[in-house]
Structure 1
Amino acid sequence: MISNELDIEPWRTQLSQRGRVQIRDFLQDSAADRIRECLEHDVPWEVSQRADLALEGPLPAPGEDGALLRAAYARAREGFEFVFDRYRMVEALRDGRDPGLLLHVVLEFLNSPQFIAFTHELTGDRGIRMVSAMAARYRQGHFLNAHNDSAKDEDRAFAYVINLGRGWQPDWGGQLQFLEGGADIETFVPYWNSLSLFRVPQMHQVTLVSPWARDDRYSIAGWFRR
């Protein structure tokens, strides 16, 4: 599933030195295309907002999306907030939901001995033992504001995003930005078939997807966990 052309060494060095890296052409072309088709056509998405508000559920009916976004924007003025579409891959596989869905195969691959060995080689962290995953779809107006990915109940070593939005342009928004404090911001544009990987914790955000974006920001995302 990973590209046969991938040379780990320069990316391992960059990750070690800077704590984050973006790798282009990460998956084999055929694998990237198949996963994208699954995300676009087969996934039963649910809308997701900040977990402590208990607002997860089915996608809003036509005409309700604007009200949902306006409410999320109002809460974002007060603190941490997000709104995007999500599919919980770990829970779905565990509960036997959606049999035959390609994402189940993806999750099993991400937790295979082969891929866990790859995480060890790329990150230098031999303590990584599993990979969590969810599918995400950011449509126009969706966002995830600043946070650092730390969690009390999980030992998250690295966060990752496999980007599968086609032909993504910088002015479409949906960019992964790292906030160093003050004015220093580094941006990863979610280019097609790229892997964004960074050490946890780091302050970061996903910027608002622009109203003129010509695709949805699809991805598989999660954490390399010890």
Structure 2
Amino acid sequence: MNWVEQLQEQGFAQFRQYLPSDTANHLRKQILTAAHFKTWRLLTTPYRPLTHIKDRISSSNVEKCRQQQAIKAERNKQFAFSFYRTSNKHAKRHGAGDIHLNLAKTLKEQVAMPLGLSGEIRDSFVAKFEREQFISYHTDGSAGQYAFIYQLSKGWQPKYGGQLVLYPTKSRFYRKVIQPEFNCLTLLKLNHPMPHSVRMLNNPKHKHRLTISGWLE
């Protein structure tokens, strides 16, 4: 079964060693060395503004409280998430624009064309997950025809968490667990549908779960 057939029948497909090693390493380096203070913004849900603390991304107190809110909601079986993502508003300042453009070109040639798609990317962003961050069970709805998750994590161990968990039959009892693997692209067929989640991280600070994610039309 080739990857197109697998994607249509099972709702997901993977490409290991998706990009040339030099290209993948360069992307990872670009992300890790992005130092502009507006490179990353914390996304959490549920999010209740904290009126007693000035709410800005540089406030560690705000981030800590927001993360605690998300963890509490997850434990109460509510939809929740917590992770950092690049802010597209400031993409030119920290080089994210170049990262997305380079990946978009390969997606159009290697993925969109074989699937008969236009290759338009509705949105893409770089995500960085730190300790105790996660995304709970969800679907992407009508965000696009296919979701892509490109992994740039190196030396990852299962005990660090952060696995992408797929539910191809819509049952939470049947799971496909995908470990973070450097230079690996995962495609999800959204009308399959393909519920998924990201397990809570338990990683040391020097280990980074980095992804470039988005949706293809």
TM over 0.5: yes
Structure 2 counterpart of 1:192: 182
Inter-partner Cα distance in structure 2 for 1:211 and 1:106: 25
Inter-partner Cα distance in structure 2 for 1:143 and 1:162: 17
Deviation at 1:57, TM superposition (A): 5.0
Inter-partner Cα distance in structure 2 for 1:109 and 1:54: 36
TM-score, normalised via structure 2 length: 0.81
Q: For residue 83 of structure 1, what is the amino acid of its counterpart? A: S
Task: Please report the RMSD computed on the Cα atoms of aligned residues, expressed in angstroms.
Answer: 2.7
User: 1:173 and 2:161 equivalent?
Assistant: yes
Structure 2 residue runs of 5 or longer lacking an equivalent are: none
1:147-186 alignment runs, 5 A limit:
147-151=138-142, 154=143, 156-179=144-167, 180-186=170-176
User: 1:103 and 2:107 equivalent?
Assistant: no
Structure 2 counterpart of 1:68: 66
Structure 1 residue runs of 5 or longer lacking an equivalent are: 1-8
Inter-partner Cα distance in structure 1 for 2:97 and 2:49: 26
Q: For residue 183 of structure 2, what is the amino acid of its counterpart? A: N
1:114-133 alignment runs, 5 A limit:
115-122=107-114, 124-133=115-124
Distance 1:108 1:212, change over 3 A: closer
| SS of equivalent to 2:210 | strand
Contact 1:32 1:164 in 2 (8 A): yes
Distance 1:34 1:131, change over 3 A: farther
CA distances 1:64-85 after superposition (whole Å, capped 9, x unpaired): 6554332211122251110001
Distance 1:51 1:109, change over 3 A: farther
Equivalent of 2:44 in 41, 44, 49? 49
TM-score, normalised via structure 1 length: 0.79
Q: For residue 42 of structure 2, what is the amino acid of its counterpart? A: V
Structure 1 counterpart of 2:57: 58
Number of equivalences: 205
Contact 2:15 2:184 in 1 (8 A): yes
Distance 1:182 1:45, change over 3 A: closer
Q: For residue 109 of structure 1, what is the amino acid of its counterpart? A: N
Deviation at 1:121, TM superposition (A): 3.4
| SS of equivalent to 1:80 | coil
Structure 1 counterpart of 2:83: 84
